[in-house]
Amino acid sequence: MAGAKTRVAVHKFSSCDGCQLAFLNMGEALLTLFEQVELVHFAEAGPLNPGTVVDISFVEGSLSTAADLQRIRAIRANSDFLVTLGACATAGGLQALRNIADKGDWVASVYATPETISLLENVTPISAQVKVDLEIHGCPVNSRQVTATLRSLLAGITPLDERDKLCLECKRRQHVCVMVTQGMPCMGPVTRTGCGALCPGIGRDCYACYGAAENINMSSLGRHFSTLQLNPAQISHRFVSFNSADPAFTPEPAADTARDD
């Protein structure tokens, strides 16, 4: 990569655009970014070259149509290093909830002539279709995460895959535990670090927008939630929301609880 500037693309699939804002919300540092890399394709910021060969592609959003599949394969073929950005791209996002519902019904209830809407059977994360070099988790990911990734790649080293549990970050920031002190059903013990432990920091329980951490014990947490008076449906809502297509969050903790009791 020495000499010529590193070529970067930012692509979007089905999403809310929130993860791309990790770039656009950098403030004045955005100008430094423009200087350090060549932004070849980033529709929202201006440059349009979706089909060009690049060093690094960031991909936001989940795949939900046949055209999406073709597009992601082309992006993969054109990219040296492919990074998925956020829950939609790495774990389906909120829209993947439709995977567990009757789709025909859903579309019909929102659109009068559902025939014109062509959807895939399931919303899938990018890694289900093509090889992904790094997954950045979060809904949304933040500027610190994308900067760390970009800077690592520019320095020629492997970006860090942050897999610790949120609780560690929470303790390091010396927040009072909302689960222990207030009995809130905090998802910190199974959630991936990276956000800065924002929710416990303002006295609320984490709702796992950063997805699953490594080596988690969902059923144990599910059982604990049932002692906090959550019913099985409420427990499953805790796990099945923003990262519902993440295999680590798919077993039904509620069913587990029922069996154990």
Partner 1 sequence: MTEQRDIRIHVPVLARVEGEGALHLTVRNNRIETLQLNIYEPPRLFEKLLEGREYHEVPDMVARICGICPVAYQMCAVTALEQIFGMQGSPRVQAMRRVFYCGEWIQSHALHIHLLAAPDFLGFDSAPEMARDYPDEVRRGLRLQALGNRLIALLGARSVHPVGACVGGFHHAPGAAQTDALIAELEQALPDAAALITWVAALDLPDDRQDFCSVSLRHEHEYPMMQGRLVSDQGLDIPIEDYAQHFTEHQVSHSTALHATLKGKPFLVGPLARMNLNSDRLPDSTAAILAQTGIRFPSANMFHSIVARAAEIHFAISEAIRLLKSVTGPGTVRSAVTPRAGTGYACTEAPRGVLWHRYRTDAEGNIRSARIVPPTSQNQARIEQDIARSLQAFGLDRLEDALRLRAETVIRNYDPCISCATHFLKLKVDRR
Partner 2 sequence: MSLALHGPAAAEIIACKQESASIVSLTLRLSDRALADRFEFQPGQFNMLYLYGAGEIPVSISSDPSSPDPLVHTIRDVGRISHGLVRLRPGDRIGLRGPFGRGWPVEDACRRDVIVITGGLGCAPVIPVIDYVIQRRRDYGRLIIMQGVKHSDDLIWRARYDAWAEQPDTQVLLAADVGDRQWNGTVGPVTGLFKQAQLRTGNSMAFLCGPEPMIRACVQQLLEKGLPPDRIWISMERNMQCALGQCGHCQFGARFVCRDGPVFCYADIRHLFGRKGF
Residues 12-71 contacting partner 1, CB under 8 A: 12, 14-22, 24-28, 30-31, 34, 39, 43-48, 50, 64-65, 68
Query: How many CA within 13 A on the CB side of residue 159?
Result: 22
Query: How many CA within 13 A on the CB side of residue 242?
Result: 19
Q: How far is the CB of 158 from partner 2 (least distance, A)?
A: 6
Stretch binding partner 1 (CB under 8 A), from 72-80, 108-116, 126-134, 252-260? 108-116
Of all residues in the shown chain, the one whose CB is closest to ligand SF4 is 188
How far apart, in whole angstroms, are the C-alpha atoms of residue 223 and residue 65?
37
Contact 220, 186 (CB under 8 A): no
Residues 112-151 contacting partner 2, CB under 8 A: 147-148, 150-151
Q: How far is the CB of 130 from partner 2 (least distance, A)?
A: 25
How far apart, in whole angstroms, are the C-alpha atoms of residue 37 and residue 4?
9
Q: How far is the CB of 213 from partner 2 (least distance, A)?
A: 18
Q: Which residue has the tokens 């019913």?
A: 231
Residues 171-200 contacting partner 2, CB under 8 A: 172
User: What length is written for the chain?
Assistant: 261
118/158 with CB nearer partner 2: 158
Tell which one of 9, 10, 87, 235 touches ligand SF4 (CB under 6 A): 87
Give me 156's structure tokens.
């020629």
CB neighbours of 41 closer than 8 A, spacing ≥ 6? 9, 10, 11, 47, 48, 49, 50, 52, 54
How far apart, in whole angstroms, are the C-alpha atoms of residue 50 and residue 39?
11
Q: Which residues bind ligand SF4 (CB under 6 A)?
A: 15-16, 18-19, 60, 86-88, 93, 139-140, 166-167, 170-171, 175, 177-179, 186, 188-189, 191, 195, 197-200, 206-210
Q: Which residues bind partner 2 (CB under 8 A)?
A: 147-148, 150-152, 155-160, 172
